[in-house]
């Protein structure tokens, strides 16, 4: 941030705090959004304004105002986040502040359960449709102290719905361009001490270009029991199967034809037990993820992840909360039909995280994790953060922490370039941010960060071939960035966000846009619900050192819903209203990496029926 921008923001801070000191009728204005309760940044409930980590929260209101295909779609409109995708369906890898590594360096959770492929350590975003999402919480930046390996770039926690009424549900149907069809049924109930929720989701599309068809279905279930006023248990499960055809790159000659397809099958189970009293709370979760993948190039594999997570939080004195926990994960799998050799890797860690309120004006946080990988060895990860509220309308955040990612089975064993001597990748993150309330309901955010990576795993020439190439911990980087945001809300009528993200990745410019501006607006008046979203990307390159420039693009979408008083809610959506022709760079393995053509203007019509 240059000195002029810093001076301008300082002026805004002083002026608005002067105005805020005047008398305001607080009964006529909405609640300050930073009073929202979140759980992901500390692994227990805490007010957003007291957290030193940089967080974004996607609410149910945000989700309702956009035409979405996957849970990750809306994340691309948040500051610092970019989505790499080959189309509207299929994979959609998330980069946070330039870090993602095809879904391997960002931890994705569903209700706190890690979602991970056992052999490659990536997230299968195909299996994250919009069937039962209540809200999404995102930590922008490393979070390995609390979440261990894979939280190198950040954390995405998808929080699912829990029924409120004795019986409730809804049914959704939509038809769109390219023979895109979506069908969804959700139903649940809450009859004390039991509650349940189940969903079924089916989607298909011919795709926006040749060989980009998609077909997938997803089933989820949740059964909860309040054993007494202090202890509760929840069992969750989901099953997904989907087939995605992958198109040619936009730079491939017209004479080429693609017959690439990927077939995915995923399932997961978890049991969570929570207990709480006035001064303490505990949580234990056991889980399993498993899957089978078959691709057109002959790849066929099975994989799994078994895990245990346990933690306890206790209040120690006035304004202090201490969390101590441990995680254990076993991941493995095998490639079918060639060697069928099973691979297994075990990783465990212990951690603590402490929050102390100081003088009713500041919150100091300290944390550390010791992690052991049975191949890569020990890794220590510290964290320190401070939140200060010098004025009633101003919050200043600062933090320093270390993120890491242990090498995965594919890097250790699977291919000729594999190397069992690999160590964990490391990122040190330094950031400072300011949240400034202009008036109640209008908030400005500025965050600046520096991230320094070392031990990054990359392919290098082998000094002692064969093989010719080998994985090695020789990569380094230093990224700088500034994220600006404005959030505006007025009762339940208006909600708007405008963000700008600036990232300086030095020479590592491939697929990392330098500038991204996003806006989102939802207006609810009487029976009309109108949503509007836009994204502008510039200084975008398909090669390092700012080579091979990709055209700037502006994409605008809108959705309008009629909220009938009879439970029926028809809607119409138009995506890419300007019919922009644009490409996104996707860092797929091997020769598949490159530019992929995105969909032009598309139309969607459908309805939801609530019962």
- pLDDT mean across residues, the chain: 93
Q: Write down the pLDDT at residue 338.
A: 73
CA distances, 318 to each of 45, 192, 234, 353, 356 (Å): 17, 34, 32, 16, 8
For the chain, domains (ranges, CATH) are 3-610 (2.40.170.20)
Strands 106-110 and 154-160: parallel
- Buried/exposed 459-482: b ≥16 CB within 10 Å, e otherwise: eeebeeeeeeebbbbeeebebbbb
pLDDT at 293 exceeding the cut of 90? yes
Name every residue whose Cβ is closer than 8 Å to that of residue 480 and which is 6 or more positions away in sequence.
448, 449, 450, 503, 504
Confidence of residue 23 (pLDDT cuts 50, 70, 90): very low
pLDDT at 127 exceeding the cut of 90? no
- Sign of the dihedral defined by the CA atoms of residues 228, 230, 233, 234, in that order: positive
Kindly state the average pLDDT of the residues 69-96.
Answer: 92
Name every residue whose Cβ is closer than 8 Å to that of residue 161 and which is 6 or more positions away in sequence.
132, 133, 134, 186, 188, 197
Name every residue whose Cβ is closer than 8 Å to that of residue 64 and which is 6 or more positions away in sequence.
522, 529, 531, 561
Q: Write down the pLDDT at residue 17.
A: 57
**245: its two tokens:** 């055809």
Strands 568-575 and 106-110: unpaired
Beta strands in 465-588 (DSSP E): 469-490, 494-504, 515-525, 528-538, 540-541, 549-550, 553-562, 568-575, 583-586
Element (DSSP H or E) covering residue 15: helix 3-20
Q: Write down the pLDDT at residue 11.
A: 53
Confidence of residue 20 (pLDDT cuts 50, 70, 90): low
Q: What tens digit of pLDDT does each residue of 522-569 get?
A: 999 999 999 999 999 999 999 999 999 999 999 999 999 999 988 999
Q: Write down the pLDDT at residue 4.
A: 46
Confidence of residue 340 (pLDDT cuts 50, 70, 90): confident
DSSP state of 11: H
Confidence of residue 13 (pLDDT cuts 50, 70, 90): low
pLDDT at 204 exceeding the cut of 80? yes
Kindly state the average pLDDT of the residues 578-587.
Answer: 97
């Amino acid at each position: 941030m240059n000195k002029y921008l810093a001076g301008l923001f300082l002026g805004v801070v002083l002026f608005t705090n002067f105005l805020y000191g005047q008398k305001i009728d607080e009964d006529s204005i909405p609640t300050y959004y930073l009073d929202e309760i979140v759980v992901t940044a500390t692994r227990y409930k805490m007010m957003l304004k007291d957290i030193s980590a940089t967080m974004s929260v996607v609410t149910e209101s945000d989700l309702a105002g956009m035409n979405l295909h996957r849970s990750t779609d809306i994340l691309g409109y948040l500051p610092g986040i970019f989505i790499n995708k080959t189309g509207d369906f299929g994979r959609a890898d998330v980069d946070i502040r330039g870090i993602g590594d095809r879904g391997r360096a960002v931890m994705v959770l569903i209700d706190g359960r890690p979602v991970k492929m056992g052999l490659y350590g990536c997230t299968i975003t195909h299996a994250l449709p919009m069937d039962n999402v209540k809200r999404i919480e995102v930590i922008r930046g490393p979070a390995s102290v609390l979440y261990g390996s894979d939280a190198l770039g950040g954390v995405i926690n998808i929080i699912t719905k829990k029924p409120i009424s004795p019986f409730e549900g809804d049914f959704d149907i939509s038809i769109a361009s390219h023979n895109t069809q979506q069908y969804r049924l959700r139903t649940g109930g809450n009859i004390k001490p039991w509650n349940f929720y189940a969903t079924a989701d089916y989607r298909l599309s011919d795709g926006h270009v040749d060989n980009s068809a998609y077909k997938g279905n997803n089933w989820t279930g949740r059964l909860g029991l309040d054993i007494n006023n202090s202890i509760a248990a929840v069992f969750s499960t989901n099953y997904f199967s989907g087939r995605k055809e992958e198109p040619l790159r936009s730079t491939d000659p017209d004479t080429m034809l693609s017959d690439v397809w990927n077939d995915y099958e995923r399932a997961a189970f978890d049991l969570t037990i929570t207990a709480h009293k006035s001064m303490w709370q505990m949580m234990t979760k056991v889980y399993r993820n498993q899957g089978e993948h078959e691709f057109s190039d002959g790849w066929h594999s099975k994989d799994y992840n078994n895990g245990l997570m346990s933690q306890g939080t206790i209040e120690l004195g006035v304004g202090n909360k201490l969390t101590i926990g441990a995680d254990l994960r076993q991941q493995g799998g095998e490639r079918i039909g060639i060697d069928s050799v099973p691979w297994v890797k075990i990783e465990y860690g212990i951690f603590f995280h402490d929050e102390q309120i100081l003088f009713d004006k500041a919150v100091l946080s300290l944390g550390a994790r010791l992690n052991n990988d049975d191949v890569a060895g020990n890794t220590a990860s510290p964290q320190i953060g401070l939140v200060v509220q010098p004025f009633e309308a101003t919050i200043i955040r600062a933090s320093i922490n270390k993120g890491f990612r242990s090498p995965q089975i594919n890097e250790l064993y699977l291919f000729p370039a594999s190397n069992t001597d690999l160590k964990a990748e490391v990122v040190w993150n330094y950031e400072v941010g300011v949240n400034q309330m202009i008036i109640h309901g209008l908030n400005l955010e500025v965050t600046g960060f520096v991230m320094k990576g070392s031990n990054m795993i990359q392919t290098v020439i082998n000094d002692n071939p064969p093989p010719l190439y080998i994985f090695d911990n020789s990569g380094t980087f230093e990224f700088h960035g500034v994220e600006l945001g404005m959030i505006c809300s007025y009762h339940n009528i208006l909600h708007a966000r405008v963000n700008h993200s600036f990232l300086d990745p030095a020479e590592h410019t491939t697929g990392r846009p330098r500038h991204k501006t996003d806006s989102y607006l939802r207006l609810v008046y009487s029976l009309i619900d109108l949503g509007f979203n836009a994204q502008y990307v510039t200084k975008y390159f398909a090669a390092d050192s700012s080579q091979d420039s990709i055209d700037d693009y502006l994409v605008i979408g809108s959705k309008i819903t009629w909220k009938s008083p009879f439970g029926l809610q028809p809607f119409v959506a138009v995506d890419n209203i300007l019919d922009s022709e644009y490409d996104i760079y996707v860092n797929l393995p091997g020769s598949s990496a490159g530019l992929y053509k995105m969909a032009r203007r598309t139309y969607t019509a459908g309805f939801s029926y609530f019962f």
